[in-house]
């Protein structure tokens, strides 16, 4: 046993010795460290992040932890000894679950004053809105133009027999945009009316895949993958992204969104301070920073989402090619939390099995 303990401790000593920063001496000399836990789609411009670090004399470490669900689970499971000071990336479909877990400390940031009330879904201010994005049906403009087919304007239009086999959606059980689109139909048709719609959609040749990457790059005809379906469940920000990341310069976006009433579901992402942080003051500064104009203007081109701060200027491509639905579908986070599993299970029964 003695051998074992010696072996183990030397093993960990070795591990510790090899870590890039020697933490003990760093605590005294170097700036304080703030750890931000987030999902792996998080991105920020280097100069924006550096500016915050310099202003606050702090070193910010980002912990990416899989997709939204994985990251949130990680935060909930480690709540007794939190891994980070700030958590970013809870969306409105997970909002109630996150609040029930009690892992956040309330913080009424002064920056909230400038944010529209429609985004502030948590009255306790444990979770503060940062950005939003609309999950919409994207369509292949050239495809519809060539065939002279009318572009659908509503969810009901998708049942048009002429559109048989032309829509690809993601499985709501495994994909966040897939779930968002399911929620849009629930909001529009109600429970259990949405199931009839899905049954009809299934009979109209609906294609279901596991994740957004496959739907967009393998099945969607307007993407570089050149698939078979000219309609895909994607984001309102996908058309400007197609222009920004085109192989050759484009004057117009090859795709557009269907922005009829309730055809899009609005996802809002939140940030919160994790309970038990040792850097409450710095964490508050970071939350303020995320709501500030600098960060909010950096958001669109980094993560392809829209800023909640109305002061933030949108980049040109967003102004030109992104459509924002005037009437996105909405559901109360508490209702989502209560019915999520049942809706997904019923959807699976209706569409897949």
Residue among 76 and 111 whose Cβ is closer to another protein? 76
What does DSSP say about strands 207-209 and 167-170: parallel, antiparallel, or unpaired?
parallel
Rounded CA Rg of the chain: 23
The H-assigned helical ranges of 190-332 are 193-203, 212-214, 238-244, 280-291, 293-303, 316-321
| Site of tokens 């899905």 | 198
Q: 3-class DSSP state for residue 135?
A: strand
The nearest distance, CB 120 to another protein, in angstroms, is 24
Residue among 63 and 149 whose Cβ is closer to another protein? 63
Residue among 250 and 335 whose Cβ is closer to another protein? 250
Residue among 112 and 264 whose Cβ is closer to another protein? 264
| Site of tokens 């984001």 | 235
The nearest distance, CB 237 to another protein, in angstroms, is 8
Q: 3-class DSSP state for residue 21?
A: coil
Backbone angles phi, psi at 105, to 5 degrees: -100, 135
Tokens matching residue 67 = 């997709």
Residue among 344 and 346 whose Cβ is closer to another protein? 344
CA 283/CA 303 separation, integer angstroms: 22
157's enclosing H/E stretch is: none
Dihedral angle sign, alpha carbons of residues 61, 310, 336, 348: negative
The nearest distance, CB 301 to another protein, in angstroms, is 6
Residue among 64 and 120 whose Cβ is closer to another protein? 64
> What separation, in Å, do the N-terminal and C-terminal C-alpha atoms of the chain show?
55
How many degrees, rounded to 5, is the angle at CA 154 between CA 153 and CA 158? 95
Residue among 45 and 294 whose Cβ is closer to another protein? 45
């Amino acid at each position: 046993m003695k051998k074992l303990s010696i072996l183990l401790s030397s093993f960990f000593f070795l591990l510790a010795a090899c870590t890039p920063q020697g933490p003990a001496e760093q605590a005294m000399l170097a700036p304080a460290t703030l750890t931000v836990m987030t999902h792996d789609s998080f991105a920020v411009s280097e100069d924006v992040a550096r500016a915050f670090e310099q202003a606050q004399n702090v070193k910010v470490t980002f912990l990416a932890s899989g997709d939204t669900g994985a990251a949130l689970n990680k935060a909930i499971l480690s709540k007794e000894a939190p891994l980070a000071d700030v958590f970013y990336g809870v969306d409105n479909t997970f909002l109630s679950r996150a609040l029930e877990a009690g892992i956040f400390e309330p913080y009424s940031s002064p920056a909230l004053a400038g944010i529209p009330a429609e985004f502030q879904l948590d009255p306790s201010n444990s979770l503060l809105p940062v950005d939003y994005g609309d999950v919409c049906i994207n369509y292949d403009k050239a495809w519809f133009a060539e065939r002279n087919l009318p572009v659908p304007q509503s969810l009901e239009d998708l049942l048009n027999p002429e559109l048989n086999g032309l829509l690809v959606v993601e499985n709501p059980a495994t994909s966040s945009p897939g779930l968002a689109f399911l929620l849009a139909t629930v909001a529009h048709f109600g429970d259990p009316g949405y199931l009839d719609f899905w049954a009809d959609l299934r009979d109209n040749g609906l294609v279901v895949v596991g994740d957004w990457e496959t739907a967009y790059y393998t099945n969607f005809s307007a993407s570089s993958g050149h698939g078979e379906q000219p309609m895909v469940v994607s984001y309102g920000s996908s058309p400007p992204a197609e222009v920004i990341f085109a192989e050759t310069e484009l004057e117009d976006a090859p795709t557009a969104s269907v922005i009829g009433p309730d055809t899009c579901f609005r996802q809002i992402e939140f940030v919160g301070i994790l309970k038990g942080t040792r850097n409450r003051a710095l964490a508050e500064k970071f939350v303020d920073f995320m709501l500030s104009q600098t960060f909010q203007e950096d958001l669109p081109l980094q993560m392809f989402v829209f800023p909640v701060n109305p002061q933030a200027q949108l980049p040109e491509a967003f102004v030109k090619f992104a459509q924002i639905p005037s009437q996105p579908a909405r559901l109360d986070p508490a209702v989502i939390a209560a019915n999520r599993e049942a809706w997904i299970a019923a959807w699976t029964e209706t569409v897949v099995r």
